[in-house]
Amino acid sequence: MKAGYAACRRGMQWAIGLVALLALLPAFAKTPAAATAAPAQRTVLVMGDSLSAGYGMAAPEGWVSLLGERLVREKPGWRVVNASISGETTAGGSSRIVDEVLRHRPGVVVIALGANDGLRGLPLAEARRNLARMIGASQHVGAKVLLVGMRMPPNLGPDYTAGFERNYRDLAKLFDTALLPFLLEPIALDRGAFQDDNLHPTVAAQPKLLDHVWPALEPLLD
């Protein structure tokens, strides 16, 4: 059984990687030789939604911007590029991932998407395919991946809620990526940590989110 699972996992990884590579080839062919040289500073690319884009606050106040400040202090060979967009879904991230990894040549990609899929009740299989493509494209250019999960409220039904969480666990296992199961875990039960919409964290909560992400991210910054 284990051997069969391993073979299936290798086959799926190969297939997704091949699809990502085929998408990358035209862009690689157009890239000048000088542009392919490794940058002096390595990049953490964050692909997220409004939770990572700093919705409702100034850009420097969000957890991703705070991550950039921490990298300067603690990992000076690294910088952060925030490619997060408010309202982004896994489909949007999947459509952008190839261009983003080619443009920034990241050493680490943080994928923090899915919340908007869940809030809209989009099919779990679709989200899974989109996230798989993002992971595959990231790994195919040599980047390590931190997959950041979300949880959905129970009003969508127990099957959807459980399947939503399981998507992240299964993908992290399949692609052997780092996993942070729930971005909002340190503040989820604190109503005061959220803006009036009860969806987006406040400015004061952003350092807590960074402190939650950092232990999962730091080991990837070798």
Active site annotation includes 50: yes
**How wide is the angle at C-alpha 199 spanned by C-alphas 198 and 201, nearest 5°?**
90
3-state SS class at 67: helix
How many CA within 13 A on the CB side of residue 98?
17
CA 76 to chain CA centroid, nearest Å: 22
Token pair for 222? 């070798």
Active site (annotated) includes residue 200: yes
d(CA 64, CA 206): 9
As a whole number of angstroms, the distance between CA 126 and CA 68 comes to: 32
The Cα–Cα gap between 32 and 63 comes to 34
Catalytic residue among 104, 140, 200, 212: 200
Q: Which of 49, 50, 84, 94 is catalytic?
A: 50
Alpha-carbon span 162 to 169, nearest angstrom? 11
Annotation marks residue 197 as catalytic: yes
- Active site residues per annotation: 50, 197, 200
